[in-house]
């Protein structure tokens, strides 16, 4: 009895899992650096890459700017994020289905200053985008705003 139930269920779950995976195919291309001045680095998988204009970003990337640095990025859902000097900004999670507009975007400002213009993910669902700071969670409802975290 268990077998006859579990097999179709297992297959059903596999199909659902495949559908979910297919709907978020662009995990390795979440956005791109469009503006960079001064010192900008991108920490990725234990390496530190120069944060040049044109660099394609991945989920989990951490952007860092030096005392003279600033960086601006455009995400796949048209969110625009830009950080001023001495900033650390992590792209913790980014998932986006371009057909439906569904997705999830969590960023974290550990230090420095950040300007945000939200994109389609926040427009589709007001719970789907957050910016975290060391002490708070910012919920974004279709918005432009700025954040500063002092040492």
- Contact positions vs other proteins (CB under 8 A): 32-37, 53-54, 70-74, 78, 80, 82-85, 87, 98-100, 111-115, 117, 133-151
Helix or strand run (H / E) with residue 124:
helix 120-124
Tell me how many degrees the CA angle 133-135-137 measures, rounded to the nearest 5: 60
Nearest distance from residue 98's CB to other proteins, in Å? 4
Q: Pick the closer one to other proteins by CB: 10 or 25.
A: 25
Q: Pick the closer one to other proteins by CB: 49 or 137.
A: 137
Q: Pick the closer one to other proteins by CB: 12 or 139.
A: 139
Q: Are 69 and 43 in contact (CB under 8 A)?
A: no
Q: Pick the closer one to other proteins by CB: 117 or 125.
A: 117
Nearest distance from residue 104's CB to other proteins, in Å? 17
Nearest distance from residue 35's CB to other proteins, in Å? 5
Nearest distance from residue 22's CB to other proteins, in Å? 13
Q: Pick the closer one to other proteins by CB: 9 or 146.
A: 146
Q: Are 79 and 129 in contact (CB under 8 A)?
A: yes
What six digits make up the tokens of 62? 């951490």
Helix or strand run (H / E) with residue 18:
helix 2-23
HSE value, Cβ hemisphere, 13 Å, CA-based, for 36: 18
Nearest distance from residue 32's CB to other proteins, in Å? 6
**CA separation for the pair 128, 139 (Å, rounded):** 8
């Amino acid at each position: 009895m268990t077998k006859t139930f579990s097999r179709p269920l297992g297959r059903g779950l596999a199909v659902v899992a495949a559908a979910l995976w297919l709907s978020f195919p662009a995990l390795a291309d979440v956005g791109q650096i469009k503006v960079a001045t001064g010192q900008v680095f991108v920490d990725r998988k234990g390496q530190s890459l120069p944060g040049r204009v044109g660099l394609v970003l991945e989920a989990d990337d951490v952007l860092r700017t030096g005392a003279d640095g600033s960086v601006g990025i455009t995400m796949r859902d048209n969110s625009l994020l830009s950080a001023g000097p001495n900033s650390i900004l992590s792209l913790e999670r980014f998932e986006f289905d371009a057909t439906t507009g569904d997705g999830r975007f969590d960023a974290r400002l550990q230090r420095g200053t950040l300007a945000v213009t939200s994109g389609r993910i926040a427009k589709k669902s007001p719970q789907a985008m957050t910016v975290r700071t060391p002490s708070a969670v910012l919920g974004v409802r279709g918005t432009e705003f700025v954040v500063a975290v002092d040492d």
